[in-house]
C-alpha cells in the first residue's frame, strides 16, 4: 500500500485545531489506559491499521497487558475489563457505529454509574477525535511502521 499524501505536512495549519483537541483529550483526566483502549477499539471497528498499530504500541508503553489488547475485539466475552472500561467500550462502539446504533439509551445509561457528566463529555470527545483520525489515516492511506524486514518484503 502506498500513502496518498501526508496530511500533516500538506495542511499543517488546518490540522492544528485537531492536534490541540487531541492534546486536550489526553490531558482530560481520563485514565491513559482507558484512553488507549477506546482508541484501539474504535480503530478496530473502522479498520485503521495505522491507528491500531500506534495505539497498541502506546498502550504497551503505558503498561497495558497483552491480554487486554488481544481480547479487546471480544471484550464482552472476557472478564478482564472493569465495569468502567465496559461502559466506555460500549459507548465507543455505539458512537463509532452511530448510523446503525443511534447511540442507544441503554449504552448511555451504563455510563452513569462510572462517569461524571464532565467525564461523559470528555469520553465522547475522545471517541470523536479517534474516529476523525481514523478517517484521515484511512483516506490518505497512512502506512504504519513494519516491525521486521521479513514482513516488509512480504
Chain segment 85-141, per-residue pLDDT in tens:
999 999 999 999 999 999 999 999 999 999 999 999 999 999 999 999 999 999 999
**Count of C-beta atoms within a 10 Å radius of residue 57:** 15
Helix ranges restricted to H, the chain? 7-10, 12-26, 32-46, 49-61, 66-70, 83-96, 98-101, 105-112, 117-139, 149-153
Place of cell 470527545: 125
pLDDT recorded at residue 1: 80
Question: Can you tell me the mean pLDDT for 8-17?
Answer: 94
* pTM of this structure: 0.93
Q: Indicate the domain borders of the chain.
A: 31-145
Banded model confidence at residue 67, pLDDT cuts 50, 70, 90: very high
- What class is the 31-145 domain? mainly alpha
Q: How far apart are CA 97 and CA 99, in angstroms?
A: 6
Amino acid at each position: 500500500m502506498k500513502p496518498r499524501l501526508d496530511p500533516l505536512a500538506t495542511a499543517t495549519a488546518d490540522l492544528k485545531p485537531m492536534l490541540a483537541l487531541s492534546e486536550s483529550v489526553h490531558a482530560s483526566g481520563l485514565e491513559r489506559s482507558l484512553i488507549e483502549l477506546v482508541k484501539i477499539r474504535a480503530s478496530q471497528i473502522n479498520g485503521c491499521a495505522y491507528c491500531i498499530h500506534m495505539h497498541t504500541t502506546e498502550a504497551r508503553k503505558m503498561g497495558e497487558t497483552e491480554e487486554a489488547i488481544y481480547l479487546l475485539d471480544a471484550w464482552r466475552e472476557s472478564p478482564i475489563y472493569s465495569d468502567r472500561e465496559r461502559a466506555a467500550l460500549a459507548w465507543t462502539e455505539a458512537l463509532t457505529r452511530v448510523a446503525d446504533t443511534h447511540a442507544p439509551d441503554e449504552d448511555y445509561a451504563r455510563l452513569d454509574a462510572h462517569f461524571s457528566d464532565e467525564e461523559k463529555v470528555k469520553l465522547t470527545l475522545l471517541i470523536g477525535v479517534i474516529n476523525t483520525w481514523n478517517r484521515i489515516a484511512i483516506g490518505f492511506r497512512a502506512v504504519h511502521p513494519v516491525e521486521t524486514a521479513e514482513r516488509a518484503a512480504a
